[in-house]
Amino acid sequence: MKIEHLELRWVRLPLVTPFRTSFGTTYDRDTFLLRLVTSDGAEGWAECAAELDPLYSAEFLAGAEIVLRDQLVPRVVALGDRLSATGVKTALEPVTGHPMAKHVLETAILDAELKTADMSFGRYLGAVRDRVPAGVSVGIMDSHAELLDHVARYLEQGYRRIKLKIEPGWDVEPVRLVRERFGDDLLLQVDANAAYTLADARHLARLDPFDLLLIEQPLPEDDIRGHASLAEVVRTPVCLDESIASARDAATAIALGACAVINVKPARVGGYLEARRIHDVAEANGVPVWCGGMLETGIGRAPNVALAALPGFTMPGDTSASDRYFATDLTAPFVLEDGHLPVPTDPGIGVEVLPDVLSAITQSTTTIPV
C-alpha cells in the first residue's frame, strides 16, 4: 500500500449542550480530519482527538497539524509501497511524544488497509460482541437541580452507566444527590481529570459510601506512586486514564497497585494497535478496561465502539449515542438501542462521511505533500 493523496480538513460542530470539566468548558467540537487515498484507490479517514488548547494533555490541534506535516507524514511516506498499519509505530518511534497526532495517521492508514482487505475494525481488533453497552459522561453543572435533570434524561434514554465529572467543591454532594435520587442499582462512577492531590485522600474517601464503580484519574497523570498510596486509603476502585500512555505504563501501574481499572482512549495512547496491547496486558492481569471518549464525531466513535467489543472491555464506556453531543453527526448517527450501540461491520471503520454535513462544517482544507 502506498499513499497517493493526503488532506487535512479542519471542522467545527456545535455541541448540543456545553460540556464542563475541571479543565474548562467546551461549546464546540473543533478538530481536524485526515483523509488518505492509497495507490489502489482505497480511502482512509481519521479524526484527531486533540483539543484547541493544551489543557487535557500537552498536545493541541495546531501543534498536531505541524508535527503531522513536518515529522510524521514524511516518515510513513518514506516507507513507499511497504506501508502498513503495523509498521507505522516503528516508523514514527524516532519522534518523541505526540500520540494523538500519531493516532490520527495510523488510524487513517488502518482504515484504508482494512477497506482493501474487506475487513471491519471489529474483526481485525478481535471483537467478540456485536453491540456494546453505552455509558454517558455528565459534565459539571451550574446547580444540583440541573445535574439531576440531566441524569434523569440520560437514564430515560437508556444509558447503562452514568459518569459524573467532579472537582474540588463539586464532588461529595452531587454524588450523594444522584445516588439518593436514582438508587443503589445505578451504575455510577466519577471522573476527576487529575483535579486532586494525595493530600485530598481522606476527602476522596468520603465517596466510598456511595458504592461507585470507580474514581477516574483523581491525581496528576505523572503521580503513579500517589495513586498507589491513594488506593490504600479509599475503598472506591481507582481507575487511571491520563496516566496510561502505553502498554508498558499499564503493566507498571498494575504492578504497583496504582489502579484496579483502566480507561483506554486510543488517541491518548497513539492508536488502536497500542490500545489493543493495553487491553491484552490488563486482561492478563485480571484488570477490567473500558473505552473512554474525546467528544468524537462518528468518524472517531465508530472504531471506538469496535474496540469496546473486545473481551476485556467488561464495563460500559463513554461510547455514547451521536445525539449526546451533536444535533447532526458527520456520519449516519449512532443510535442507542436498549442501552447499547451496534458494532460497525462494514470494512474499515465501518461508517461513511456525509458529504453535505462535511461541507457545511469545514473551516479549511489543506493538502499535505506526499
* Look-up of cell digits 473505552: 291
**DSSP labels, 54-94:** TTSSS--HHHHHHHIIIIIHHHHHTTGGG--HHHHHHHHTT
Query: Does residue 351 contact residue 299 with C-beta atoms inside 8 Å?
Result: yes
Say whether 165 is catalytic: yes
Distance CA 239, CA 242 (A): 10
* Look-up of cell digits 444540583: 144
Single-letter amino acid code for the residue at 236: T
**DSSP labels, 302-315:** HHHHHHTTSTTB-S
Candidates 136, 217, 141, 213; CA nearest to 177 is 141
Distance CA 295, CA 252 (A): 28
**DSSP labels, 45-63:** EEE----SSTTSSS--HHH
Query: Does residue 229 contact residue 248 with C-beta atoms inside 8 Å?
Result: no
- Evaluate the CA torsion angle 42, 32, 161, 276 in order and state its sign: positive
Task: Classify each residue of 135-171 as buried b or exposed e, where b means 16 or more C-beta atoms within 10 Å of its C-beta.
Answer: bbbbbbbeeeeebbebbeebbeeebbbbbbbbbeebb
Within 10 angstroms of residue 127's Cβ, the number of other Cβ atoms is 22
- In this structure, what DSSP letter does residue 295 have? S
Candidates 269, 304, 279, 300; CA nearest to 99 is 269
Candidates 346, 267, 316; CA nearest to 104 is 267
Query: What DSSP element (H or E) covers 300?
Result: helix 298-307
Q: Which residues are catalytic?
A: 165, 265
